[in-house]
């Protein structure tokens, strides 16, 4: 078996906050640990205070703890490989964007919802929770199961909980967990840098 990954700190081109460099998306969660409710509350509070255009706050969240019918519903909506591991997370959080309000489009809603999810993720990591965001899920199934109207669009599902023991994971999960962390160079992301 592979040995546990002890240090997943990103190698950065410029200094960044430790909480950002150390945060990574695990696929191995402790299937027995319950969610740390205080840490979850703080992560939700961080999301609440994320920047938002004109203070419209066009995001909502669905929080489902492992063992609940709602958690099972979300797991059933997950696509492919996500369904194989995400059910072990103590909670699944669906981030939902309000894309129209009063029959008017809210074109910034996706961006603002992403900001809320990012703030949630950083706060969760700072408080010892692990997270992994997923785009591979059945949005229509989530909308139907939770009675979301046409104005609301599920954007992502985030697995949240305590980090599991890599040594108990499948070989495929171990390989993914131990793979080098990479990002393309900043220069390749800059369209203009005048």
The domains of the chain are located at 24-179
pLDDT band at 1 (very low <50, low <70, confident <90, very high): very low
- State what percent of residues in the chain have pLDDT above 70: 97
Q: Which fold has domain 24-179?
A: NADH Oxidase (3.40.109)
In whole angstroms, give the CA distance from residue 1 to residue 146: 41
- Judged against a pLDDT cut of 90, whether residue 117 lies above it is answered with yes
Radius of gyration of the CA atoms of the chain, in A: 17
Say what the pLDDT of residue 185 is: 95
- From 105, 108, 113, 102, select the one nearest 155 (Cα to Cα): 113
Question: Cα 55 to the chain's mean position, in Å?
Answer: 23
Residues 18-64: pLDDT tens digits? 999 999 999 999 999 999 999 999 999 999 999 999 999 999 999 99
In whole angstroms, give the CA distance from residue 81 to residue 194: 42
- Judged against a pLDDT cut of 80, whether residue 137 lies above it is answered with yes
């Amino acid at each position: 078996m592979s040995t546990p990954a002890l240090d997943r700190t990103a190698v950065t081109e410029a200094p960044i906050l430790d909480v950002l460099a150390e945060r990574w998306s695990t696929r191995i969660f402790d299937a027995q640990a319950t969610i740390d409710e205080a840490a979850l509350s703080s992560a939700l509070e961080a999301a609440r205070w994320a920047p938002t255009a004109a203070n419209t706050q066009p995001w909502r969240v669905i929080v489902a703890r492992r063992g609940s019918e709602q958690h099972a519903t979300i797991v059933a909506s997950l696509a492919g490989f996500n369904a194989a591991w995400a059910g072990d997370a103590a909670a699944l959080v669906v981030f939902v964007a309000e894309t129209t309000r009063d029959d008017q489009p809210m074109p910034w809603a996706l961006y603002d919802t992403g900001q809320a999810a990012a703030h949630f993720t950083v706060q969760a990591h700072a408080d010892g929770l692990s997270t992994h965001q997923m785009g591979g899920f059945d949005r229509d199934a989530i909308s139907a199961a939770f009675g979301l109207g046409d104005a609301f669009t599920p954007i992502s599902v985030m697995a949240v909980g305590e980090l599991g023991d890599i040594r108990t994971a499948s070989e495929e999960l171990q390989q993914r967990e131990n793979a080098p962390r990479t990002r393309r160079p900043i220069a390749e992301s800059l369209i203009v840098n005048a």
